[in-house]
Structure 1
Amino acid sequence: MFNEEFQLDAPIRWGMVGGGRGSEIGYSHRAAAQRDRLFTFVAAALDLDAERGRDFGTKLGLAPERCYPDYKTLFAEEAKREDGIQAVSIATPNSTHYEIAKAALEAGLHVICEKPATIHVEDALELKALAEKQNKMLAVMYGYTGFQMVHQAREMVRRGDIGAVRVIQMSFAHGFHNTEIEKNSPGAKWRMNPEVSGPSFIIGDCGTHPFYMAGMITGLKVKSLMCSRQSFIESRTPLEDNAHVVFQFEGGAVGTLWASAINSGSMHQQKVRIVGEKASLEWWDEYPNQLRYEVQGEPVRILERGMGYLHNDDPGVSANRQGGGHAEGFFESWANLYHRYALAIDAYNRNDKAFLESHWYPDIDGGIDGVKMVNACVKSADNGAVWVDYD
């Protein structure tokens, strides 16, 4: 079971950039970070409108003087305080991630960044080098990877339960943007603006989630890919609202990814299916407490979170906040990740390299991989759905 005992000398003083009033992602970060008392929310630059951000921040319990008009002022003023922030989460549009993360690292802060880490691969690599120089954690928020049964799948693959991986099927295909909702939704509008979101909409916004998860579970690296993308809502051109990607992995495995915002009637359809030589595994985020295990020639088994037959020696599998049968969901997954971020930050502060070598969390390497995938997909699709080398 999850250990709720306090594991740090003191909570990590934490701030936010973005995630203002009405932001679902902002609320998700705040709820997750404070769930286990390992982070204390003390300062923020929540909104481009300074007054609106201050009003919202004070209603969240922040002191008015620590509700800043922008990230530069946040970092500069907090650096002057003995009780200034030690870590920051970035929940702003894609095109701003690089500059804010760079400024945060230069200010000596640990960083948790929304995905994609950056628009350009070179920028993500620069951030990685800067984080290493500063000896600071640089994490990328892949929020679904805190689910225990995702870690169970990873352990089963690692231990050979399904044999060598042959095929990976990935999808994140919802229907919530099957009409031009961006006309009346600011949150959707920026995601479909290439100057803000970058060269991709749905591949970067949703497709990167199962892609990261598949790599986490299998450990396989992409060799080459081919992508076809469409803008069924024509005003979204050149950004896609539907895409199909075919992958060739190192070692011979193959895979597919369907990323879509126009899958009418679908809630999420985020699934990862791993087909091995002996058996297959399938995880679906709408049923996150279960993992489907299919051995050739045997009845299908539905493995349940919180049960003794799982690989509970892995802390990702055993991070149960309730016993089996009680549904755990999205916020538990995020809280599990923030718990891991806190332990990583503590290890960085203590320079405990041995702990960091064995401690998993979604780090900048996964973020770099996501940026590379998005850019390779755009290159392939814009050249007629041709095969392109991943590196």
Structure 2
Amino acid sequence: MYLGEKLIKREPFRWGIVGGGKTSQVGYKHRLGAMRDNTSFLLTAAAFDVDAERCREFGVSLGMDADRCYPDYKTMFEEEAKREDGIEVVDVATPNFLHYEVTKAALEAGLHVICEKPLFFEAEQGEEIKKLAEEKGKIVAVTYGFSGFDMLKQMRAMVTSGKLGKINMIELRYAHGFGCDPEGDVKSEGQKWRVNPAKVGKAFVLGDLSTHTYYMSQLICPDQKLKEVLCDRQAFVGSRYPLEDNAYVLMHYEDGAVGRMWCSCVNAGDMSSQHIRIVGSKASLEWNDARPDVVKYQIQGQPEQLLYRGLDYLDASAQEDERIGALHYTGLIDSWSNLYKRFAVVMDAKDRGDEETVKNVIYPDLDHGIDGIKWINACAESADKGAVWVQV
């Protein structure tokens, strides 16, 4: 059980952030996730905003030193490198089109990187960054923020131990209704760039939503290798074209398993957005983010079982992040906190040369980020060719 105690021997990582300011939809999640237990990361410097004054005002409102609230990331990296107490890790919480250049600059400055998803626009950029990270001896992690829920590790343990038999079907859904209002694209600062192809890339909801759920399926079923996808996508709010606000994806895996993904921001009225169902030859597992502490376990011919977070019958891996005990409900910030705890552990291990820990920590790493790029681009290619099968 994890009760928020200090897990790394050193002082908290001195942490900076690029983006994630006052108008950001994700900045607060990053800050609270990183500093919830106040043991792994300490927010030291920031380039919150393209508006330097707004950046300073926001940083000061958080209790930061005004002199370490910088006008841009290049200045932050340059000035922090001059300090004995300069930052050691940087968080990239910018619009997608900046992820690659900021991540590259951070690695060149000798910093570990935590980057928002989707990682970059092209897989080749990911491979270049992977080579640079290896040269610099640094970690690049990706904030698939839902993937820190404890019960996903329980599902992984049951899948990999064979309790479900052979995996035959993977059913995925991330479909909410908060994109139904076309005026929202204009009113929300965080939404404007998400529907601009120049800033978001080749997809809207396929990148913004489905990469979360796709990675979670990889976490749960690590041995399932995707072979090809067929994608049909729509822009029901026409101003979003050529990007999509709804998509259906069929998947073929190398071992013969099949899958489906429904991804949408125009699923009007739905508040239970993410669903994952793993169907094996013997049994199935089902989870949704409306009840993240519960997994349905359905063995063919037997009564359905409900598995609850925090109880002793769970696999040890599902207990590693436990803070509050059974019957006390967790939420999205707990998931983010679990991720940041793992990021700190793996970064500390990397700095100490402990490659065994680096290899064994379960977290969304650079390879998973590259897989996300390939997923988005294959889906977009399939849809643009008229919904045909495309190799991944």
Q: Shorter-chain TM-score category?
A: over 0.9
Look up the match of 1:200: 203
Per the TM alignment, residue 4 of structure 1 is displaced from its structure 2 partner at its CA by 2.7
- Asked if 1:245 corresponds to 2:243, the answer is no
The separation in 1 between residues aligned to 2:110 and 2:191, in whole angstroms, is: 33
Per the TM alignment, residue 121 of structure 1 is displaced from its structure 2 partner at its CA by 1.0
Look up the match of 2:13: 12
Look up the match of 1:23: 24
The separation in 2 between residues aligned to 1:4 and 1:263, in whole angstroms, is: 37
SS of the equivalent of 2:110 reads: coil
Q: 1:324 aligns with which of 303, 326, 339?
A: 326
Look up the match of 2:360: 358
Matched AA of 1:250: E
Aligned partners of 1:93 and 1:197 also within 8 Å = yes
Q: 1:343 aligns with which of 342, 345, 349?
A: 345
Per the TM alignment, residue 3 of structure 1 is displaced from its structure 2 partner at its CA by 4.0
Aligned partners of 2:233 and 2:247 also within 8 Å = yes
Aligned partners of 1:341 and 1:361 also within 8 Å = yes
Q: 2:290 aligns with which of 279, 286, 292?
A: 286
Q: 1:265 aligns with which of 258, 266, 269?
A: 269
* 1:320-375: CA deviation from partner (whole Å, max 9, x where unpaired): 11111110111111111111111111111111112112122110111000100000
SS of the equivalent of 2:231 reads: strand
Q: 2:216 aligns with which of 192, 213, 217?
A: 213
* 1:143-181: CA deviation from partner (whole Å, max 9, x where unpaired): 111101011000000111111100000000000011202
Structure 1 spans left out of the alignment, 5+ residues: none
The separation in 1 between residues aligned to 2:243 and 2:23, in whole angstroms, is: 25
The separation in 2 between residues aligned to 1:212 and 1:177, in whole angstroms, is: 22
* 1:49-96: CA deviation from partner (whole Å, max 9, x where unpaired): 000001101111111110000000010100000000000111000011
The separation in 2 between residues aligned to 1:4 and 1:227, in whole angstroms, is: 42
The separation in 2 between residues aligned to 1:222 and 1:142, in whole angstroms, is: 19
Matched AA of 1:196: K
Aligned partners of 1:212 and 1:366 also within 8 Å = yes
Structure 1 segment 77-92 matched on structure 2, within 5 A: 77-92=79-94
* 1:252-274: CA deviation from partner (whole Å, max 9, x where unpaired): 10000000010011124211100
* 1:276-297: CA deviation from partner (whole Å, max 9, x where unpaired): 0000001101110001111111
- Alignment TM-score, normalising by the size of structure 1: 0.98
* 1:78-132: CA deviation from partner (whole Å, max 9, x where unpaired): 0000000000111000011000000000000000000011011111111111111
SS of the equivalent of 2:286 reads: strand
Structure 2 spans left out of the alignment, 5+ residues: none
Matched AA of 1:11: P
The separation in 1 between residues aligned to 2:186 and 2:361, in whole angstroms, is: 43
- Asked if 1:39 corresponds to 2:28, the answer is no
Q: What is the root-mean-square deviation of aligned Cα atoms in Å?
A: 0.9
Look up the match of 1:378: 380
Look up the match of 1:298: 302
SS of the equivalent of 2:170 reads: strand
Aligned partners of 1:274 and 1:281 also within 8 Å = yes
Q: 2:141 aligns with which of 134, 139, 142?
A: 139
Which consecutive aligned stretches of 4+ in structure 1 deviate over 6 angstroms post-superposition?
A: none
The separation in 1 between residues aligned to 2:346 and 2:321, in whole angstroms, is: 16
Aligned partners of 2:227 and 2:254 also within 8 Å = yes
* 1:293-322: CA deviation from partner (whole Å, max 9, x where unpaired): 1111111111100011111x21x4431111
Matched AA of 1:310: L
The separation in 1 between residues aligned to 2:272 and 2:240, in whole angstroms, is: 21
% identity of equivalent residues: 51
Per the TM alignment, residue 36 of structure 1 is displaced from its structure 2 partner at its CA by 2.0
Per the TM alignment, residue 9 of structure 1 is displaced from its structure 2 partner at its CA by 1.8
Look up the match of 1:109: 111
SS of the equivalent of 1:378 reads: helix
Aligned partners of 1:306 and 1:318 also within 8 Å = no
Structure 1 segment 178-193 matched on structure 2, within 5 A: 178-180=180-182, 181-193=184-196
Per the TM alignment, residue 246 of structure 1 is displaced from its structure 2 partner at its CA by 0.3
Length, aligned pairs only: 388
Aligned partners of 1:176 and 1:267 also within 8 Å = no
Per the TM alignment, residue 250 of structure 1 is displaced from its structure 2 partner at its CA by 1.0
